[in-house]
Structure 1
């Protein structure tokens, strides 16, 4: 199973990615987790990524693409993977298409979690308080929502036109949303 999990910041992608990937026995590949690990490790990439993340902007494609290419080529991703937070731009869609072609495979589905923007802001502010996340101020959260709408939302149209889009209501209890994802994937086949 090769999936993309899309949705605005705070829609629950990270939570759902872990559960769905485990269900299918594939790794959940999260660019956010990779960026945070690099930031915590104070790597050169991490420091560069931190500047963009602190401003609520996306890390440039060339850094992200190289990182994802390396990750999907690891042995544990051979039977499949779930991408959380990638692709985020139309250019990254093209890059992912190239990666998949090189691997001789294709995507099975693109799952889009839909959620109300004000609900997401509340979620992220609460998470910032609980987890002490410095990148989750209300101003930065709202900017990340704008960036998502400008750059990532057009991907929904691309994957819909390819017949790969599965839209799921992302608001509700974790188990409820997970079941919605599995139900939607079953009807998509």
Structure 2
């Protein structure tokens, strides 16, 4: 089983590349954003619990997020592997994910970060914001705040996975095909 964590700042191309990775390697794509939206929309027990925190403007506790993710893994027992997108975001989440996978005799095989210059990504997101309608892609200050948060939270995760020999940085700038080729060069070694 191949389990991959995909990192990258907003606009780095994670969504585009996740589509490629799930097809090429027959992975189940688990996006925490999608999982949250599904659970809240369908008013699952975990979705209702998460919503109580979100309605107060609080972050959803790691325990709730992890339970949602574990539930999704359990729903796909025959998967060839999982592509974790947007998770983990903290060391505590990474440790919980490692413990959960270990309980199933599995582990994270690799973490891949799509790296790109902030100025290029800001321009990319502002352009995307013109057509996406997403307000967070239309305000440069909000975009830069998201990058600051990413840098603060992700740097420790990179070190965590580097210590395990599972971290790979991939240049996320170029055509979709060029970035895909770089990702494949890393992942085809597994």
TM-score scaled by structure 1? 0.85
Q: Give the whole-Å Cα distance in 2 for the aligned partners of 1:121 and 1:59.
A: 27
State the match for 1:96 in structure 2: 97
Q: Give the whole-Å Cα distance in 2 for the aligned partners of 1:59 and 1:99.
A: 19
Deviation of 1:27 (Å) = 1.1
Unaligned runs of 5+ in 1: none
Instruction: Compare 141-150 and 74-83 and name the one that shifted more.
Output: 74-83
Unaligned runs of 5+ in 2: none
Deviation of 1:135 (Å) = 3.0
Q: Give the whole-Å Cα distance in 2 for the aligned partners of 1:123 and 1:51.
A: 32
Q: Indicate how the Cα distance of structure 1 residues 129 and 62 shifts in structure 2: closer, same or farther if over 3 A, else same.
A: farther
Mapped contact 1:2–1:108 kept (Cα < 8 A): yes
The count of residues paired between Structure 1 and Structure 2 equals 184
Q: Give the whole-Å Cα distance in 2 for the aligned partners of 1:28 and 1:77.
A: 14
Q: Give the whole-Å Cα distance in 2 for the aligned partners of 1:121 and 1:46.
A: 30
State the match for 1:168 in structure 2: 170
State the match for 1:185 in structure 2: 187
Mapped contact 1:4–1:109 kept (Cα < 8 A): yes
State the match for 1:79 in structure 2: 80
Q: Which structure would you say has the larger Rg?
A: 2
CA RMSD of aligned residues (A): 2.4
